[in-house]
A = this chain, B = another copy of it.
Amino acid sequence: MAADNAPPVLLDLTIDNITPNTIRINDQSSDARLRYLMSRLVTHLHDFARETRLSTDEWVAAIGFLVSTGQICSDVRNEFILLSDILGLSLLVDSINHPKPAGSTEGSVLGPFHTHDAPTIENGASMTSDPEGEPMLALCRVVDPNGKPVAGVKVDIWETDSSGHYDVQHADRSAPSERCVMVTDEDGRFNFQGIKPVPYPIPHDGPVGKLLQRLGRHCWRPAHVHFMFEKKGWDHLITALYLRGDPYETSDAVFGVKKSLVIDLGRTDAATSAKHNIPEGSWLLEQEFVLVTEDESERLRDQNAINALKQLGLHMKLVDHLPVPEVD
């Protein structure tokens, strides 16, 4: 399928022959994985148009939707991630790429609000600058599947302020707030002070919000705190913890909630409050996160891929852990 000397002859293309011909000309690429991705993309795109008999007006509307989705993007807003989120694609891609063995912490959606400028804070420090938020102490720990602490893990933590907005959603943002980076100590611990998370609507003043409205869907996410864990040799974990009893617990606009990630907050007692320098009766989040090694996750991902492709009746091999056709 790789490049011949002359490109294939394209003439008189019709509803019925456009797909194999588009694939044929894309097959000039020397990249087997790209050839496979493009052949499946073109097939699905064309099948979609054929099955729906997509009208010219609908095509024009779709083009307009994509243009405006791209145009509203900025350094602090990614409307295409939001679109991927509300279409369930983000959850699906995370599930495919970070399968979790029983007993390890499940993943959840990254969302469009992670930034790379969060300050690294000391274990036990505060990441909140919101006086309106209800103070929350988080006492967390990272362990392996055998319960052994994992030290030196970089943990990214982010949540909205008490108004339900991430810092980047404020036009006058001058510095990061309600977000931080920490590193787990020898005992795998990372403690911090934040605020009790609140439910919030995803940005709905753009094309994605309009789409949700036309679909009769609400745009709310249940209260949660995002966490991202990184350490060489360990599977990259993007997850979040959700508060039990939230009105949107079972209708998250971006499909992120898993039962194992729904938690109850407690209240700090006198001793804990004194030790961690927070008012008694503050909200208390206690959580153990279980990381798996990159090797284990990769083995599981490869095995899942092989099984799934077999079930789909596709004859594929894995190259760099990604499927390409067996006979190419």
* A120 at interface, CB cutoff 8 A: no
* A40 at interface, CB cutoff 8 A: yes
- Oligomer: number of copies: 2
User: Which of A76-84, A143-151, A175-183, A190-198 sits within the interface?
Assistant: A76-84
Q: Which residues of B contact A67 (CB under 8 A)?
A: 70, 73, 78, 80
Closest to A260 in B: B12
* CA distance in complex: A75, B93 (Å): 34
A interface residues, tally (CB under 8 Å): 89
Q: Which residues of B contact A3 (CB under 8 A)?
A: 216
Given A50-B308, A218-B7; A63-B45 close (CB under 8 Å): no
User: Which of A154-162, A165-173, A249-257 sits within the interface?
Assistant: A249-257
Least Cβ–Cβ distance between A132 and chain B, in angstroms: 30
A37 touches B13 (CB 8 A): no
Least Cβ–Cβ distance between A20 and chain B, in angstroms: 10
**Which 4 residue pairs of A and B lie closest in terms of their CB atoms, listed nearest first?**
A70-B70, A28-B216, A22-B88, A44-B44
9 new A-B contacts, CB < 8 A, other than A10-B257, A30-B216, A52-B323, are A8-B251, A11-B259, A29-B215, A36-B52, A42-B88, A44-B44, A46-B89, A46-B92, A63-B80
Selected A-B contacts with CB under 8 Å, 19 pairs = A9-B251, A11-B249, A11-B258, A12-B259, A13-B88, A15-B92, A21-B88, A25-B215, A26-B215, A30-B216, A44-B44, A44-B48, A50-B312, A51-B314, A53-B308, A53-B309, A55-B93, A55-B321, A63-B84
